[in-house]
Copies of this chain bind each other. A is one copy, B any other.
């Protein structure tokens, strides 16, 4: 029996503080989980994985920690059609492609040199604070 789980990404030492946020044990573990396996887990999936190392952690704490990490710009919250929120440690501007067949979410980058504001007719005076690009579709063999 060979494990099905994807290879975990190497996780660097997580500092005591990131972006002004004190990294408690719980926040460290949750951040580690997101870096180790970048498959856009839901809060509940993070919770289940966190219990391996923090058996007493509660789902409320997972929500609190994810919220704190999002508020401090350490991770991003990704929403897709009213499904549960998912969380993503990839901070550079990118979108998400949801493969309807597998449920897998792929990060999608802009082509080099292109920014979203360049291609949209924004209302005059619009200052963008946050962008979310979501694509739904399927992957066909070619």
B108 and A125 contacting across the interface, CB-CB below 8 Å: no
Q: How many copies of this chain sit in the oligomeric assembly?
A: 2
CA distance A77 to B136 in the complex (A): 14
B108 and A120 contacting across the interface, CB-CB below 8 Å: yes
Q: Tell me whether A123 and B95 are in contact in the complex, defined as CB-CB below 8 angstroms, given that A79-B79, A133-B132 are known contacts.
A: no
Instruction: Tell me if A126 counts as interface (CB < 8 A to partner B).
Output: yes
CA distance A124 to B137 in the complex (A): 12
A82 and B81 contacting across the interface, CB-CB below 8 Å: no
Instruction: Tell me if A25 counts as interface (CB < 8 A to partner B).
Output: no
CA distance A135 to B80 in the complex (A): 14
The secondary structure that dominates the A interface is: strand
A110 and B114 contacting across the interface, CB-CB below 8 Å: no
Instruction: Tell me if A56 counts as interface (CB < 8 A to partner B).
Output: no
B139 and A126 contacting across the interface, CB-CB below 8 Å: yes
B132 and A106 contacting across the interface, CB-CB below 8 Å: no
Taken residue by residue from 73 to 90, chain A's Cβ proximity to chain B (1 for < 8 Å, 0 otherwise) reads as 000010111100100000
Instruction: Tell me if A138 counts as interface (CB < 8 A to partner B).
Output: yes
Instruction: Tell me if A91 counts as interface (CB < 8 A to partner B).
Output: no
Instruction: Tell me if A1 counts as interface (CB < 8 A to partner B).
Output: no
A123 and B139 contacting across the interface, CB-CB below 8 Å: yes
Interface residue ranges, A against B (CB under 8 Å): 77, 79-82, 85, 95, 97, 100, 106, 108-111, 114, 116, 118-142
